[in-house]
Structure formats: C-alpha cells, structure tokens
Chain A
Amino acid sequence: MNEDIKTFTISIYTENNIGLLNRISAIFQRRHINIESLTTSRSEIDGVNRFVIVVNMTETNAIKIVKQIEKQVETIRAYYHTDEETIFTESCMFKIKSDLLFDEPQIQNIIKESDSNIVTVNKEFFVLEKSGRRHEIESLRRDLNVFGIMQFVRSGRIAVTKDEMKITELLSAFDNQ
C-alpha cells in the first residue's frame, strides 16, 4: 500500500503549561517526522493555547500522530486538516535599503502589486510586510532579491478551519461534571 504523502495542518488546543511544546515536538522527533512549521499562540479561549503544526505525511500517519498528541494529559483536543479544509496564511518581512525606493522605481510597483505594506521607513532601510500564501511570498522574495534584501524572515503557517472544533463545549462539559 503506497499512500500519498500530503500536507496536513495539525491544530492542537492545549493548556498553557511549560514543557508542553517539548512534549509535543518529541512526538514528531521520536518518529523521525520533519515539522514544516510550528506556531503557537493563545486561542479564542482564555488560558487555552493553540498549536498549528504543518507536516507532510500520509493520512494514516496523521491519524496516528493526532492520537498520540491527544493522549498527552494537557492536550485538550487535536485535529488534522487538509489545505482544502482550512483557511491559512503565512507572513513575512523584508528589510531593504531605503535608497532603492528612490533609485529603483520598479520596487514601488512591486510593493503595490504584491499587496504588501511598508511597516517603517528610515534613512538606511525600510521594512516591508506581507501576509499570504507561500507562493505569493516566494514570488515577492524573488522579485525583491534582484535588488538586494538585507534581511528576510517568514513565519510558520497559521490556519483556521472551515469546520467548528467545539473546544468551548468540550471545556464546559468538563466544568459541568
């Protein structure tokens, strides 16, 4: 059985505790699975954190991994979704020499067409920020690279799911026990 390897977004709702990041990343490490990106932040619920992890694997393995993550005491729920089932984005920043803004008028067109924002400008450099899909960010990076980029950084994926995840109901069910 040769199952296709696909991109999955794993969403994990957890308690906000020290050490949980280590515990969750160890689940991937132990199985020799490369994490494409990992983002953690607070979630819509006070005191509940959300991990968004992107991995490339078979669906069979995604199911197994999600079960192992859910097994951790401080995991509230974990889910996996395909790209079609989520709305997702990444963001990035470019630091570029300010002179180029004036010397290379084409840059201004690139900025406009790419839907990116200038965060700050000073004498030496300006900072450009863009959110979007990976290919959009990559295309912008290629365009700007021609002129020289002082610094580039891209975040991991953040994603919301099209379906509900019903974490609030889960937590209130516990509170009402």
Chain B
Amino acid sequence: MKTQTINNKQEVAEKTQRITGSEAIVRSLMAEGVDVLYGYPGGAIMPVYDELYKFQDQIHHVLTRHEQGAAHAAQGYARISGKVGVAMATSGPGATNLITGIADAQIDSTPLVCITGQVFSHLLGSDAFQETDIVGISTPVTKWNCQVTKAEDIPVALAKAFYIAKSGRPGPVLVDITKDAQVSEFDFKYEKCTGVRSYKPVPKTSQESIDVAAELINNAKKPMIVWGQGVILGQAEQELKAIIEKAGIPAAWTILGASALPTSHPLNIGMVGMHGNYAPNRLTNECDVLIAIGMRFDDRVTGDLNTYAKQAKVIHFDIDPAEIDKNVKTDVAVLGDSKESLGMLEQALNKNSHESWLQEFKDLYAIEYDKVIKNDLSPTKEGLTMGEVLKQINIESEGNAAIVSDVGQHQMIACRYADFNITKSNITSGGLGTMGFALPAAIGAKMAAPEREVVAIIGDGGYQMNIQELGTIFQQKTAVKIVVLNNEFLGMVRQWQQLFFDKRYASTEMTNPNFVAIAEGYYIKARKVVKREELAEAVKEMIQSKESYFLEVCVEKEDNVFPMIPSGASVSDVRLS
C-alpha cells in the first residue's frame, strides 16, 4: 500500500512520485490549499473518490444531496472567504447538474474549480453510458475549461484552473478528466501556475486616467459613487472608505457590492437598482459625476439606458476591459485592480464635503422611510412583514451575521434591511437570480467561516428547490441558521402579476408542506412563527443556538416590495407604491 501521510504542503508540491492520475488530482488540490470540497460520486469519478477516502484526514469532501447543491456550496465557500471553491461530480448527469451553479458563478464572478469525471477516452463520442459533452456544454458559462485525457496532463491543467479561477476578474473553470487518465500512473510533480501567456488578468492602471478622473471628481458639485462586487473581489474596502471620506462623496452599492462599507456609515446611501433605495436611484439622474467602481451597469441597476445618468460625466473603474462602454458610455475609464486604482485615486483627490448634496439624499430617504421603510420594519397591520424579521435578525446578530439570501422578494428585503458591519457578508445570487442558491451556499459559507454567524434567508419557493441539502446540514452538523419567509406564494412573480398582469396569479400560489416536520425529519431544531409576539423570542433562540436551526415565519401573503423601478422604466420613475 502507498504511503498516505504527507507531512507538509511543500512535500506535496515538490516530491516527484509515481502515482495514479486520481491521486494526482487529490494531491494537486492539497497543493492548492484546498481543505474542503463539495461533490457527489459516480462511475466516472470513482477512482478520485477512492483517493479522497485515503486522504480524508487531510482534505474534507462534503457529500451534498445533489450536484447543484455542491456547486452552490462551493460558491458560498468562495464568496465568504475569497478563496477558490471546489466542486466535483461524475460524468453525464452529475456534470450537467453543476451547470446552474457554474453559470451563477460566471455571472457573479465567483472563483470555482469544478472537476468532472468523464468516460474512458476511447469511448468519447460513442454515446457511452453517462457520457455528455460537458466541455461543450459548459463553454459559454465558464471562464475557461478543458478536457484531460492523459494522467500526466492533470497537474498542469489543475494548476492552470486554479490560477485562472482566482486571478483577474474571478470566475468558474471546469476540468473534465477521463477515467483512463484517472487510473493510469505517471511521475507526479506539482508546480503552481503563475501566468498564461495569452491571458492578461489585471490591466495596469494608468496614472493619466487617474488624473483625469480625479480632476472631474475634484471639480464636481454633485458626485456620486456606485460600487459593486469589484471592491470586495479586489479587497479594496479600505481604499473605498478612504475615498468616500476624503472627498465626502455619497456612495451607493449594487446588490453584490453590499457589505463592502458598513451599513451604518454616514455616506452609505443605500442600494441602487430595481428594488434599491429611493434616493440613490432618483439622484443617479441628478448627479454631475457618476463614479462606478467594480460594477457592470446591469439592466436591473440602470433601468432604461436611454434615460440613465445622461446628465453626468461617467467614470468607470473596472478590471475587465470588456465592461467599459458595454452598457453605459463612459467619459473616463480606469482599468485595473480596484485596490491599486482606488489607492491611486485617493492620492489625487482633494479633501472635500458635499453637505447640501448629501442632504438631498437624506430628504429622499425621509420620504422612503415614511412611505415604505416604516411600514416594513415597524408595521401596524396584523400580518408579519419580511422586513421586521430582518430587523430582529439585525438586533440579535448585532449586524455581524453573514446573510445568505435566495432569490425573490425576501432577497430584496434581506439586501435592503440587513445590517452589514463586516465585508463579504451578503451572499446572494445576483446576476443569474438562481432560486435554490441560498441553502447550499449557506453550507459552504458556514464551513469556510465557522466563526461567523451564517443566516440563510429563503422564500418558500426557493427553499423547495434545494431542500434536499438539509441532509447535508444534518450529516455535516453545519450550524447554519435557516429562515424561511413563507408567504405561500412565489412572491416576486406574484407581485408582477398583481402590478402588470391584472392579478392573474398563474401558478404562483403554493400549497406548502409542514416545513417544521421536514426539518425535524433531518433532526434539525425547528420552530414556526405565525404571530408578531413570538418573533423576537424565536429569532433570539435561533441566533443563540449552537447548532443548525430552522425558523419558518409565516408572513403576509400579498405584500409587495417597494421601491420599485418597473422593468424598462427610468431610474427617475422609481415607485414607492
């Protein structure tokens, strides 16, 4: 029997040994510092699982209950830690089940390495059992992918995969490895990838572009920042804060930018976009200089492009040149890594404040508070609101929880009302809008950051899309807190049906099972709240629990999320009711 003990990572990397391709896969993962991966075994990946069994004291494989769960769990792991998430699946259906998670990671720039087993190379193209062209299928939703048919190509492919996933604008990669490559032997040596000649992950920031940008900002009367996830991915939170404070610029965030600056910061003016805050949406069309940082002017952010910030000079900071002028024509493009470019900008900015401009945001906030926020957070009606649940979570977690939300009304409420003191705390499916994301993503997040409080906020619809992952939570004893905001509807679709389809509620009403019984079936402590007076105590019990905890809150069935920019309307036309 082979030696299974490796004393240190150095040894893994440097020692040349004759081993199988599958052992090489596991050793490559360890050389990349992978401590946990998510996956599901099957025929074409079994040799790798056999090696994972041998190395189980050094690398932890988490058996999810569905490969989609594995991909989302790896995403949750990556989003909270900034490290590369790893998912593994067999060929055919195992591989195709990863696709939704891969597509989600692609559009939300999440670093993932997905490893799929493939049929023997001599069977490729023969419609063999569980054969699918996963490289072809995954091409449009991966940053890079490849197929490996020889054992000796495994270390180079995986080293390149990790490098590409993590560098520049991160994204998912997929490495498809045939079974013959897994079982044949070769002389293994691992070298980390440090560059690919055709790939330039980080464009250099030009001082000239910084100077032009700084001059515009220094002369602006009504500057406004909209930052996105690029700030978090570039670890530029401090640089962002320094700029905002030095130049006194009101700053708003996209959904994926949330938590880069604490919610309580006086210059944090809230979220932009379809269900963002009233002030930053309205005043996007009043500012004189719009400074976009690590965001991509998604249609959910801009609404109608023909009426978006036309009066403003637009400065766009991004690492990805393809984002410049893609949706919004920019006056100044600043390419590069956000930490570096924002650091350079800070040097070039004058100290400033814009009190009367900031007051405009405060005035509009007061209107939003009166018309929307007050009723969401401190309702006087009988039915429970989603907002008051978030308020209780804020109180009990003291704003230190990582909030993992699914997709729909509850997601908008969670992003609008959660207090974020700590960066990388808003884990949600932004670009793809993947229902079923939150439960598995929360598992990955909690495993990557066991010291953090991780609260999954999920609707009754999305919960049932990956409800099987309760099994993973139970088996792994992952102490995630699960809150299902149950309105017995696919709430966001129902809201659109109410507003735009004359209340024809086609296939949005849900007859739900006994969620508490289901959680208890997995031996997860569970509680259901139907009355306001039970809420505070239940949330407290949940947050204080050392183990996983399921809380169902029955909320008002037909509440709507406001503010709202109707699809295709201008940011100026944001509605409060």
Interface residues of A (CB under 8 A from B): 14-15, 17-19, 22-23, 26, 30, 63-64, 67-68, 70-71, 73-76, 171, 174-175, 177
Contacts and interface: CB of A to CB of B under 8 A. Distances in A.
Interface string B185-227: 0000000000111110000000000000000000000000000
Contacts of A14: 198
A68 B322 contact: yes
A174 B139 contact: no
Interface of B: 135-136, 139-140, 143-147, 164, 195-199, 320-322, 324-326
Given A22-B136, A26-B139, A63 B325 contact: yes
Given A22-B136, A63-B325, A70-B321, A174 B164 contact: no
Given A63-B325, A64-B322, A67-B322, A26 B140 contact: yes
A171 B195 CA distance: 12
B199 A74 contact: yes
Contacts of A174: 195, 197
A67 B198 CA distance: 14
Given A15-B198, A67-B321, A73-B143, 4 more contacts: A19-B139, A63-B325, A67-B322, A174-B197
B140 A30 contact: yes
Contact of B135 (A19, A75, A177): A19
Given A19-B146, A26-B140, A71 B320 contact: yes
Contacts of B197: 15, 76, 171, 174-175
Nearest to B135: A19
A174 B195 CA distance: 9
A76 to B, nearest CB: 4
Contacts of B326: 64, 67
Contacts of B145: 19
A73 B135 contact: no
B158 to A, nearest CB: 15
A60 B468 CA distance: 47
Given A26-B140, A64-B326, A18 B147 contact: yes
A71 B139 contact: no
The listed residue with most B CB atoms (<10 A of its CB), out of A68, A73, A174, A177, is: A73
Contacts of B147: 18-19
A74 B143 CA distance: 10
A73 B169 CA distance: 11
Nearest to B163: A73
A23 B199 contact: no
A122 B180 CA distance: 49
A26 B145 CA distance: 14
A71 B198 CA distance: 10
A73 B144 contact: yes
Contacts of B324: 67
Nearest to A1: B306
B325 A73 contact: no
A175 B322 CA distance: 25
Contacts of A22: 136, 139
Q: Name the residue among B135, B139, B147, B195 with the largest chain A CB count within 10 angstroms.
A: B139
Contacts of B164: 73
Contacts of A68: 322
Contacts of A73: 143-144, 164, 196, 198-199
Q: Which 9 A-B pairs have the closest CB atoms?
A: A67-B322, A174-B197, A76-B198, A73-B144, A73-B199, A71-B322, A26-B140, A74-B198, A15-B198
11 contacts: A15-B198, A19-B147, A26-B140, A67-B321, A67-B322, A67-B326, A71-B321, A73-B143, A74-B144, A74-B196, A76-B197
A13 B237 CA distance: 37
A22 B197 CA distance: 20
A91 B315 CA distance: 47
A23 B325 CA distance: 22
B321 A23 contact: no
A70 B143 contact: no
A177 B195 contact: yes
A35 to B, nearest CB: 16
A68 B196 CA distance: 18
A7 B464 CA distance: 50
Contacts of B321: 67, 70-71
A26 B135 CA distance: 13
